[in-house]
Amino acid sequence: MMLPQILSYGQKNLVFAKYGVYWCNMRKWCKVHLLSNQKIHSLQSMRKQQVELLIESLKNEARDRVVVDLSAKVTSLNANLTCLMVFGKKYMDEDLDKRGFKDLVQDILHLARMPNLGDFPPFLGAIDLQGITRKLKDLSKVFDEFLEKIIDEHVHAHEQKQNKDFVDTMMDIMQSGDAKFQFDRHHIKAILFDMLIAAVDTTASSTEWILTELLRHPHVTKKLQKELQEVVGLDRMVEESDLENLKYLDMVVKEGLRLHPVAPILHHESMEDCVVDGFHLQRGSRMIVNCYAIYMDPNFRGRDFQLVPFGSGRRSCPRMQLAVTVVRLVVAQLVHCFEWELPSCISLVI
């Protein structure tokens, strides 16, 4: 496939890397140094601060009764959370490109969803009839320059830093030479690209869809607000420690993720010859899994009735715990602090 070859530095990221020593070690490093329970808990105050900034911004606009682009607000919040977690500091839209995080991520996702003729008959890839390869290379250049700048900043400030972030850890691994495989700047950039794109889009998209469904179902919104008033009260904001007691919120989020999965279709490649439901699949065969159809099946309840939109098995998303925490926290704050309505120029199809 053309997309992972161009954007992921030759499939060096977690999403597209082939299963093996490299992929297993990278997944373990990401879990230990960025996505472990201890690390997620240690960054709780940072998440609280950024969500409070979002709420304060919305309060100022609510006083003036102005229309709010909530999609842009939530995307900006997730970009800030990701940058602080992974890079150790916030970056503005203009630091990446004049188009900003949201538009660039949407461009990548648009190209990822588009069928590319060059992925099938090999000779069509060189012709680039749809212009997809050219667009991917343009986007790759923008992100590569941004990630290079981040790595350079960490190299120059390495001796003065007391608290190491994820980039510092990756740089230490590269410079130590202890890795059992080739590990250079391209590998670091591929992993950072994964973290940035996955966090900025998926969490924001899930939050938007859940709020959309709440607007479509006012009785659900009222029930959720009642739970928030009973558990949290009206004299303070929702804390992450409150989330485990918000059972109805948990159900709302899970149902939102089922109805609007962030990855409705998954691509897989067989590692060896195998037989699935009577069909023989040769090694290297590409398969497309219609996850949306699975989620809509009334007979399917998921593994142990838990979340499945993040995949399952060893290729499941390692960010699941963090992503669900952020979505639940943001949805809870937005529903608890505001009464939402659509602009008069927009109608909602029920």
- Determine, yes or no, domain membership for 327: yes
What is the model's pLDDT at position 231? 96
Tell which residue, 92, 73, 74, has the closest CA to residue 83. Answer: 92
What is the model's pLDDT at position 304? 46
Least confident of 124-138, 269-283, 294-308: 294-308
Q: Quick check: 171 and 148 in contact, CB under 8 A?
A: no
What would the pLDDT profile of 219-263 be if each residue is shown by its tens digit?
Answer: 999 999 999 999 999 999 999 999 999 999 999 998 998 888 887
Domains of the chain: total? 1
281: which strand partners?
274
Asked if the model's pLDDT at residue 1 lies above 80, the reply is no
- Determine, yes or no, domain membership for 313: yes
- Determine, yes or no, domain membership for 61: yes
The percentage of the chain sitting over the pLDDT mark of 70, rounded to a whole number, equals 93
SS (H, E, C) the chain: CHHHHHHCCCCCCCCCCCCCHHHHHHHHHHHHHCCCHHHHHHCHHHHHHHHHHHHHHHHHHHHCCCCCCHHHHHHHHHHHHHHHHHHCCCCCHHHHCCCHHHHHHHHHHHHHHCCCHHHCCHHHHHHCCCCHHHHHHHHHHHHHHHHHHHHHHHHHCCCCCCCCCHHHHHHHHHHHCCCCCCCCHHHHHHHHHHHHHHHHHHHHHHHHHHHHHHHHCHHHHHHHHHHHHHHCCCCCCCCHHHHHHCHHHHHHHHHHHHHCCCCCEEEEECCCCEEECCEEECCCCEEEEEHHHHHHCCCCCCHHHCCCCCCCHHHCCCCHHHHHHHHHHHHHHHHHHCCCCCCCCCCCCC
For the record, the structure tokens of 73 come out as 């607000």
Least confident of 103-107, 126-130, 214-218, 336-340: 126-130
CA–CA separation, 204 and 194 (whole Å): 16
Least confident of 57-71, 147-161, 311-325: 311-325
Based on the number of CB atoms within 10 Å of its own CB, is 294 exposed (0-12), middle (13-18) or buried (19 or more)?
A: middle
What is the model's pLDDT at position 169? 85
CA–CA separation, 324 and 316 (whole Å): 14
What is the model's pLDDT at position 296? 84
Residues ≥6 apart with Cβ < 8 Å to 241: none
- Determine, yes or no, domain membership for 101: yes
Mean pLDDT (the chain, rounded)? 85
Domain containing 240 equals 2-263+309-337
What would the pLDDT profile of 204-213 be if each residue is shown by its tens digit?
Answer: 889 999 999 9
What is the model's pLDDT at position 170? 86
* Residue labelled with tokens 């890795």: 179
* Residue labelled with tokens 């060059």: 118
Q: Is 317 annotated as a binding residue?
A: yes
Asked if the model's pLDDT at residue 305 lies above 60, the reply is no
What is the model's pLDDT at position 309? 66
- Determine, yes or no, domain membership for 205: yes
What would the pLDDT profile of 110-149 be if each residue is shown by its tens digit?
Answer: 888 888 777 777 677 778 778 888 898 999 999 999 999 9
CA–CA separation, 180 and 323 (whole Å): 30
- Determine, yes or no, domain membership for 324: yes
Provide the CATH number for the domain around residue 127. 1.10.630.10
- Determine, yes or no, domain membership for 276: no
Position with higher pLDDT, 137 vs 2: 137
Task: Give phi and psi for 220, each to the nearest 5.
Answer: -70, -40
Cα 343 off chain centre by: 28
- Determine, yes or no, domain membership for 158: yes
Position with higher pLDDT, 192 vs 99: 192
Q: What is the mean pLDDT of residues 163-167?
A: 83
